[in-house]
Structure 1
Amino acid sequence: MSDQEGADWIPPDADLSRPSAARIYDYLLGGAHNLAADRAVAQRLEAIQPQVAAVARRNRAFLRRVVRFMLEQGVRQFLDLGSGIPTVGNVHEVAQAVDPAAKVVYVDYEPVAVAHSLMLLKDNPHAEAFEADATDTEAVLGSESVQKLLDLSEPVGLLAITLGHYLPEVRGVFGTYRDALAPGSHFALTHLTNDFAVLRDPKIAETMRSTQDSIYPRSRDEVLALFDGFELVEPGLTTSANWRPDRLAAVVDPEEDGLYAGVGVKP
């Protein structure tokens, strides 16, 4: 698909020259809502590390497992920060397959991601998307979508999947969201690290600096600190493929997995 052929999902004011993490991720997952600039960066990343698409697929599978887990714990409303471009198996699809009344709010600052989300959700009364920077916690929590769909006095599933490593300061941001959530709320994240070989090559970070989304890998201790105020559920902080894998899933060496992953519950 050329960028022109995809014009119906590209907002008129979108900057097509600047690659974005959301659209690069879409490409790595096999999606069609990405632009030439995004594909060029993704292909450079694959040249540096041929496993980068596999890392993206395992991360996506983690998201699906996390949503199902939260549903099993009784959570019926979700706030997805840095939600990206909706592809098959997105949060509302997983959640509403279990409970059609489950509510989902998607937040992203990438215009193409939000525009496509709005198209996908136009007939869905229990899911909305809006454009905002997740670090502007007041704007997110006070938004019309959150106020309309989510009851913050009841447990919420807060999702920050591959978000934290795009933020230079993240602990305070996640802490603000935590403080706004009711007891029984769950928090899930994945976070890029240099602790494992697969994504350690500094050329990966250098390549991402050519986009609108620089990356800030963090160590295990730094990622653990993002769960302050939450109690980690088993198996604790692990990697995306190794967090409660499906029964027939192959074990993946953390050195090849690349992303820390975990889920916490607010007591």
Structure 2
Amino acid sequence: MVSVPFWRLLDSEITYDAAQNLAIEEAILQAKIKGFVPPTIRFWRNRRAVIVGYSQDVYAEVNLEVCAREGIQVVRRFSGGGAVYHDLGNLNYTIVMDTDDPLVRGLDVEKSYRVLCSGVVQGLKYLGFNSNEVALISPGNIFIRGKKVSGSAQLRSRNAILHHGTLLVNSDIKMLESVLAVYDEKLRKNCSSACSPTTRVSDELGREVGISEIKRVLIKGFEESFKINLKVEDITRLEEECASRIYREKYSRNGGYLILG
């Protein structure tokens, strides 16, 4: 009888600060590189914030005037990809695993995106969407009925992979389009982010969808797609200490990654 591998699930929303959450992301990755923690899936949310990719020009990607006026945090993340808007109606998920994990061993980056996004796709099907309504567009964007509902990015460091993504559940789409320059005809010419029509899970279902409900179907989706068992645990003290150090060094006002807020 084949045993089902155990993965850790981190589902305690200990902060809604984008900079602190990104520091936690890095700390989990460092712990995985050192072999201190099992494969991990994490759910997390931020207060209103814009997160830009590592190599992006924030002045080209973000309407900083609107962000300053609205009190929206702007932070640079350590992974690539495009600029995204977060609020409490958006659920973020993170997968941290070894590069030689059977799920992704031998796969190129594009194929690994397909595998690691499959749990979200399956979760959306559990929520009630049909297979022909949900599409994964390379490398890691998920669309419902032709509109984008999720994007993701990866970082590979030594022997580990960190894959994180968004899911627009009940987010403020109007604010999203106000702060991301790609949605402004006058500002988008210098953007590296792709412009896609967006939607929310709640809009496509035609009813209010709670974050708890989304988490439940995503857990089922990940367990089925990855053939794993998820066990809820807390972040370790080692990870907490590492996150605090990373936050001080990178995400404080003098660290260079906190742009606004």
More strand, by proportion: 2
State the TM-score, normalizing by the size of structure 2: 0.29
Q: Which has the higher contact order (CA 8 A, sep 6+)?
A: 2
TM-score, structure 1 length as denominator? 0.28
